[in-house]
Amino acid sequence: MQVKTFRAPTMEKALAQVKKELGPDAIILSSGKVMSSSGESQFEVSAALDRQPQSTPPPPPAPPAAESISAEVKGDIREIKSFLSLLISSKDHFTQLQMKEPRPGVAELYHSLLVRGFDEKQIYILLNRAASDLNGEAGDAARLFDAFCSQMFSSMRFSRPFRGISNSSGSPAVFSFVGPTGVGKTTTLAKIAAYLKFKRQLDIGIISLDTYRIGAVDQLRTYANILEVPFSVAQSKSEFDKAQKDFSHFDLILVDTTGRNFLNREHVRQLSSIFENGRKTGHFLVLSAAAKDEDLRQTILHFKAMELHSLIFTKIDETIHHGCMLNQLLRFDYPLAFMGTGQRVPEDIEQASQKRILSFLLPVRSQNT
Tell me the per-residue interface mask from 181 to 200 with Mg ion, x by CB under 5 A, - otherwise: ----xx--------------
Q: Give the integer Cα–Cα distance in Å for 198 and 193.
A: 8
Instruction: Say which entry of ligand GTP, Mg ion, none residue 315 contacts (CB below 5 to 8 A, set by partner kind).
Output: ligand GTP
Instruction: Say which entry of Mg ion, ligand GTP, none residue 184 contacts (CB below 5 to 8 A, set by partner kind).
Output: ligand GTP
Nearer to Mg ion, 9 or 182 (CB): 182
Instruction: Say which entry of ligand GTP, Mg ion, none residue 314 contacts (CB below 5 to 8 A, set by partner kind).
Output: ligand GTP
Nearer to Mg ion, 177 or 332 (CB): 177
**Smallest separation, CB 326 to Mg ion (Å):** 25
**Smallest separation, CB 333 to ligand GTP (Å):** 24
Q: Give the integer Cα–Cα distance in Å for 36 and 71.
A: 39
Instruction: Say which entry of Mg ion, ligand GTP, none residue 343 contacts (CB below 5 to 8 A, set by partner kind).
Output: ligand GTP
Nearer to ligand GTP, 152 or 216 (CB): 216
Nearer to ligand GTP, 103 or 185 (CB): 185
- The binding site for ligand GTP (CB under 6 A) comprises 181-187, 210, 213, 216, 259, 314-315, 317-318, 340-343, 348
Give 345-364 as a 3 state SS string.
Answer: CCCCEEECCHHHHHHHHHHH
- Ramachandran region, residue 281 (left: φ > 0; alpha: ψ -120 to 50; beta: rest): beta
Nearer to Mg ion, 185 or 322 (CB): 185
Residue at 199: amino acid letter:
K
Q: How would you classify the pairing of strands 308-314 and 41-49?
A: unpaired
Instruction: Say which entry of Mg ion, ligand GTP, none residue 342 contacts (CB below 5 to 8 A, set by partner kind).
Output: ligand GTP
CB 341 within 8 A of CB 317: yes
**Smallest separation, CB 245 to ligand GTP (Å):** 25
Length of the chain (residues): 369
Nearer to ligand GTP, 192 or 253 (CB): 192
Report which DSSP code applies to 306. Answer: G
Instruction: For residue 7, give the nearest of 39, 33, 38 by alpha carbon.
Output: 33
Q: Give the integer Cα–Cα distance in Å for 331 and 17.
A: 62
**Residue 103, CA atoms < 13 Å, CB-side half-sphere:** 21
CB 163 within 8 A of CB 181: no
Judged by the rule CB under 5 A, the positions of this chain that interact with Mg ion are 185-186
